[in-house]
Structure formats: C-alpha cells, structure tokens
C-alpha cells in the first residue's frame, strides 16, 4: 500500500517566507514530528542564486533587476541562477530519503520523471539533455530542479513554466547556460493554461513515481504562517 504524503496548496507566497517555512518543516521532519509533505505554490517575481551561481549570470546588476520589480536573493539549493514568478508552478517536497536508500541522484531522477510525465499528460513531449539539468522541450527549457538535503531530508524541489512571463529569463543567464532558450506549457500549446490544474497533475504523478498517496492538508494544520489557496489566482 502506498504511504500518504500531505499536499499543501499555498497560492502565491514571497520566496523568503516560503524558505522560512521550509526550514521549519525540515527540522520537524528530521525529528519525525511531521510526515512527508509537498508545498505547491507560486512566487512573486524573484531571481534566486544557488550555491554555484556566479556574478556574470546577472549581467545587469542587482539594482537594475530590482528596478524592474524583481527581487534578487541568495539561497542554499544546488544550481545556478533561476527565475520564479506568477504562472510558474513551484513544488517543494519536504521528504525523508531514508525509504529510497538516501539516494539523492535517484530522487532527482524521480523529480525529472514527474515533470516529464505531467507535461505529457497535458500534450507536451519533454525530455532530458545529456550534460544539462532540468527538463526540456527540444532545446527549450521548461522545468528546473534544485534540491538541498540535510540529515536525510529534502528541501527546495522543482519548478515548471506553465503560463508565466518568459521575458525575465532573457535578462539573465538561466541555470548558467549561455543562450538558453526557455519555454512554457502555454507557449508550446499556444493557449492559456491553468497553474492549479497542472499542479493536480504534478501531484498525481509524484504519487505514482514515488509510490505515495497524496492527501490534501491546510497549512494551519501544521502551524504554518502560509496562505491556503488555489494557484493561478490574481495577486
């Protein structure tokens, strides 16, 4: 029988607020005070710099980006610079890797399968490119992965461009890849797409790939200062 995993749908949450929630949940999961869970949400416009990010990935300078209404923040996930904004689905699994033999690489491969399967369900054929991270449609990147593991518990996770503004990706060197073309589900299908509906598919596919049974929960049930709401709602 599949083990349950809680799913918290949190609407739009500022990046630092979501990061603080992840820190709290990470410690409680390490102490076995809470079960595994997924945070599904969107962020207001923000560039995040992973542990391997370099200054040339933000060529305009921090002040210029902030003048465009985009925060620039450092984070402890792996990877380089990426962009998050409304219309992009972000899923943060807070899970113990112990049942998976603490195999981080296998976990990341699983997240890739989740994204590829979910995109296929919505009519977009995606895959991997050898030597590159994330999920691609041809040579156009549509999904990113950046994870952090501490004492066997994961934070951060995956992001898929569903129906978001892609211009901010053109102002940086996304994921450290020069000339990286970026796409979205909406661009590939030529029609508007719902973030909440796509989140349903990602959650279902996560359950299949990792043999879990998703169960909806409210953030307040875990004492979190996070909203509960559907994704894709106007700010």
| Domain assignment present for 231 | no
Query: Lowest-pLDDT range, 15-19, 122-126, 228-232?
Result: 228-232
Quick check: pTM over 0.95? no
* Structure-block tokens of residue 143: 């999904």
Give residue 80's pLDDT.
74
| Model confidence band, residue 188 (pLDDT cutoffs 50, 70, 90) | very high
Query: How much is the pLDDT for 161?
Result: 97
For residue 227, CA distances in Å to 5, 18, 42, 120 come to 19, 10, 11, 30
Domain-located, residue 196: yes
The residue segments making up the domain with residue 58 are: 3-222
The CATH code of the domain that includes 92 is 3.30.930.10
- Cα-based distances in Å from 111 to 38, 83, 93, 104, 141: 12, 19, 10, 11, 15
* Both structure tokens of 122: 């919505």
Can you list the positions of beta strands (E) in 64-170? 71-74, 81-84, 88-94, 135-137, 140-150, 153-161
Distance in angstroms (rounded) separating the CA atoms of residues 95 and 46: 25
60-95 tens-digit pLDDT: 888 999 999 999 988 877 667 889 999 999 999 999
pLDDT at 1 over 70: no
**Number of domains within the chain:** 1
Residue 183 lies in a domain: yes
| 230 within a domain of the structure (yes/no) | no
Q: Which of 3, 35, 28 is nearest to 150 (CA)?
A: 28
Residue 79's H or E segment, with its range, is none
Domain assignment of residue 201, yes or no? yes
Sign of the C-alpha dihedral, residues 196, 93, 3, 124? positive
Question: How much is the pLDDT for 185?
Answer: 98
**Does a structural domain hold residue 167?**
yes
pLDDT band at residue 178 using 50, 70 and 90 as cut-offs: low
Contacts of 162 (CB under 8 A, 6+ apart): 87, 88, 89, 184, 185, 186, 193, 194, 195, 198, 232
For 14, the token pair is 């500022």
Name the helix (H) or strand (E) containing 61: none
Q: Assess contact for 142 and 71: CB atoms under 8 A.
A: no
Active site amino acids: 175
Those residues with Cβ within 8 angstroms of residue 146's Cβ, 6 or more apart along the chain or in another chain:
50, 77, 78, 79, 82, 156, 157
Region 179-202 average pLDDT: 94
Residue 233 lies in a domain: no
pLDDT tens digits for 86-131?
999 999 999 999 988 899 999 999 999 999 999 999 999 999 999 8
Whether residue 203 lies inside any domain: the answer is yes
Among 220, 213, 218, residue whose Cα is nearest residue 5: 213
In contact, 142 and 193? CB cutoff 8 Å = no
């Amino acid at each position: 029988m599949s083990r349950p995993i809680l799913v918290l749908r949190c609407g739009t949450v500022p990046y630092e607020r979501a990061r603080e929630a992840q820190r709290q949940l990470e410690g409680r999961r390490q102490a076995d005070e809470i079960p595994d869970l997924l945070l599904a949400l969107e962020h207001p416009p923000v560039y995040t710099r992973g542990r391997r990010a370099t200054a040339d990935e933000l060529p305009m300078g921090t002040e210029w980006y902030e003048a465009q209404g985009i925060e620039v923040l450092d984070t402890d996930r792996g990877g380089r610079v990426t962009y998050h904004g409304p219309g992009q689905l972000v899923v943060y699994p807070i899970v113990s890797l112990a049942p998976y033999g603490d195999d981080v690489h296998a976990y990341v491969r699983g997240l890739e399968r989740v994204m590829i399967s979910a995109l296929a369900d919505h009519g977009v054929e995606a895959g991997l490119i050898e030597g590159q991270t994330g999920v691609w449609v041809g040579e156009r990147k549509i999904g990113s992965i950046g994870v952090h593991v501490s004492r066997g518990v994961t934070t951060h996770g995956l992001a898929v461009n569903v129906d978001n503004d892609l211009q901010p990706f053109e102002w940086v060197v996304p994921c450290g890849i020069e000339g990286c073309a970026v796409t979205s589900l909406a661009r590939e299908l030529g029609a508007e797409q719902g973030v909440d509906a796509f989140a349903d598919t990602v959650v279902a596919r996560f359950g299949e790939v990792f043999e879990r049974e998703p169960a909806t929960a409210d953030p307040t049930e875990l004492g979190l200062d996070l909203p509960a709401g559907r994704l894709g709602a106007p700010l």
